[in-house]
Amino acid sequence: MDKPSKAKTAIVIHGGAGTILKSKMTPEIEQAYIEALKHALKTGHAILEQGGSSTDAVKATIVTMEDSPLFNAGKGAVFTHEGKNELDASIMVSDDLSAGAVAGVSHIKNPILLADKVRTDSKHVLMAREGAEEFAKEQDFELVDPKYFFTQNRWDQLQKILKEDPDKMQLSEDEAKNSKFGTVGAVALDQAGVITAGTSTGGMTNKRYARIGDSPIIGAGTYANSHCGISATGHGEYFIRAAVAYDICALVEYKGESIQNAADIVINGKLVKMGGDGGVVGLDKDGNIMMSFNTPGMYRGSIDVDGNITIEIYQDK
Ligand code: ASP
């Protein structure tokens, strides 16, 4: 008798999109990114293989990237105009369309975990700044000293912009020297067929006025329903205006587009026309993996339903 086949699982992640050029990369830094992406993927995939939920897989995956100074999320987040770190994160689960998000927090080590707490333990979807941190305290989250988020590279990046063009806001990867970092995201499908999508970021360098990007906005930076799950990275203002994550899922659900076509329509069509830089990763209910971006590179990786692992950085492989 044939063994009953195990239900399919899959996971896809990104570590930010932007002007990431091989010519500006050293082999050591490239290797560090590959290792960090691999570690993130394997962490989430192990949970899925053991029958864990896609929500637990997405959270654990994103936590590894928030804890790595290589990415613009958690430790290693970019600085605001005033020299602070203000972090945004969101998560959404397909089976009940539940969602949680936090924006502008500056004492939370792993914003993705707080976003999920908002989803599971509050009546709200999005909490911001001091209010979100008050909720975190009530939920027994440890608040960290903002110094925890400091990295010299990010600090230097802000100083450079302040000198050159203080009014400019910049994607973390758009200063294509040798050590650039990015927003992080993960989308997973578990054995129960549930899709979870999550995103975490420090936003854009030199942001001010408590600016919030797309990452904590459900439907823009993150979305998951029974057809598809999406996590985005890029110039948030455009992603909000184009409702990127939801738009892709709507094309899959209502128009029957494949998830890759749907993403390409939005990222390489609609967004390009608007002038918005960035990309998305996602998967559909059958575990088909999608990656799409309109920048020279996007840190990205996946483990598909057959267990094949892919890690890529540049547009041209
Ligand atoms: N989407 C983020 C924001 O606009 C930035 C990024 O993806 O790097 O805040």
Q: Phi/psi zone of residue 51: left (φ > 0), alpha (ψ -120 to 50 degrees), beta?
A: left
Digit-coded pLDDT (tens) for 202-215: 999 999 999 999 99
| Residue where the block lists tokens 């995939």 | 45
Q: Domains in the chain and their CATH numbers?
A: 10-314 (3.60.20.30)
Residue 70 in contact with residue 76, Cβ under 8 Å? yes
- Residues 275-295: tens digit of each pLDDT: 999 999 999 999 999 999 999
Shortest-distance Cα residue to atom 9 of ligand 1: 203
Interval between CA 137 and ligand 1 midpoint (Å): 26
Q: Single out the residue of 206, 201, 194 nearest to residue 220, CA to CA.
A: 201
Structure confidence at residue 187 as a pLDDT band (50, 70, 90): very high
Share of the chain above pLDDT 90, in %: 84
pLDDT tens readout for residues 224-262:
999 999 999 999 999 999 999 999 999 999 999 999 999
Location of structure tokens 């009014």: 167
SS3 content of the chain, % helix, strand, coil (to 5): 35, 25, 40
Alpha carbons 275 and 290: distance in angstroms, whole number = 22
Quote the crossing angle between the two packed helices 54-67 and 27-49, to the nearest 10°. Answer: 160
Query: Is the CB of residue 276 below 6 angstroms from any atom belonging to ligand 1?
Result: no
Helices (H), 139-184: 152-164
CB 47 within 8 A of CB 57: yes
CB of 182 sitting under 6 A from ligand 1: yes
How far is ligand 1, taken at its centre, from the CA of residue 72, in Å?
Answer: 9
Residue 176: predicted pLDDT: 44
How far apart CA 37 and CA 106 sit, in angstroms, is 25
The model carries a pTM of 0.94
Residue 2 pLDDT class (50, 70, 90 cuts): low
pLDDT at 182: 81
Q: Tell me whether residue 196 is one of the annotated catalytic residues.
A: no
The set of residues, in sequence order, having a beta carbon less than 8 Å from that of 285 and lying 6+ positions away, is 189, 193, 195, 226, 227, 228
pLDDT over threshold 60, residue 30: yes
**How far apart, in whole angstroms, are the C-alpha atoms of residue 83 and residue 93?**
34
pLDDT for the residue 280:
98
Among the listed residues 55, 61, 183, 222, the single catalytic one is 183
